[in-house]
Amino acid sequence: MGTSEKSIRVADEAWLSLALLQYEHLDRDSFSAKEILDRVKAEQANPELRPGIQVHIYSHNVANAEPNSAKYRMFYKLADDTYRLFRPTDAAHPARKGKMIPERDELPQKYHYLLDWYEREYCRKQTAVREEDDPILQMWGVGKEIWADTNADDYVRSLRSDWYGDKRAAGS
């Protein structure tokens, strides 16, 4: 049975739809679950809409979500509840070790260009981390009022004075 005669896997169909959206809308970073589902319906890579497609969009394919049964790393969910394709440099839930993209021989040949684009261009694009998305960057400046009236040199000197105990500090 040739590739065109095979049924595309549900996870791969979801990836394909998000990849098409990202490829066609280079000006956008992410898409809603509804937009991905609408693209699945419009593309008709599988003759009928299967009920498992929605759970793959919301859960099974999402790398940074705790896995339930599937452990794919195909999508990355952003703080605004939109999705983009997963990149190998993205943080994933530690229990997720599944595939990131469809196997070439399991995807109809007319979509192979998306696999090439994903590896050649998409994965190389660095996404700037926005402060509101990064919990470490959100801590910038927290507690600065505590140290506002403290001289750094005096503080370090006071810490060093106790290194050898009171006896030695008093003698120096």
Residues 155 and 75 in one domain: no
Count of the separate structural domains present in the chain: 2
Residues 6+ apart with CB under 8 A from 62: 74, 75, 76, 77, 83
Answer yes or no: do 142 and 75 share one domain: no
Domain shared by 13 and 96, yes or no: yes
Residues 120 and 151 in one domain: no
36 and 80 together in one domain: yes
Write out the DSSP string of 24-66.
H-TT-S-B-HHHHHHHHHHH-SSSS--THHHHIIIIITBTTS-
Same domain, yes or no: 160 and 81: no
Interval 47-90: pLDDT, tens: 999 999 999 999 999 999 999 889 999 999 999 999 999 999 99
Same-domain status, 86 and 162: no
For residues 99 and 16, state if they share a domain.
yes
Q: Please give the Cα distance from 106 to 9 (Å, whole number).
A: 8
In terms of DSSP bridges, do strands 75-77 and 83-85 run parallel, antiparallel, or are they unpaired?
Answer: antiparallel
Question: For the segment 84-143, what is each residue's pLDDT rounded down to a tens digit?
Answer: 999 999 999 999 999 999 999 999 999 999 999 999 999 987 655 555 666 766 777 787
Looking at the fold, whether 86 and 20 belong to one and the same domain comes out as yes
Q: How far is CA 67 from CA 76, 86, 114, in A?
A: 13, 15, 26
Under 8 Å between Cβ of 23 and 36: no
Is there a single domain that holds both residue 154 and residue 85? no
Residue 152 structural domain? 136-171
Asked whether residue 85 falls in the same domain as residue 126, the answer is: yes
Angle at 12 between CA 25 and CA 120, to 5 degrees: 50
Question: Which pLDDT band, with edges at 50, 70 and 90, does 12 fall under?
Answer: very high
Residues 122 and 165 in one domain: no
Rounded CA Rg of the chain: 25
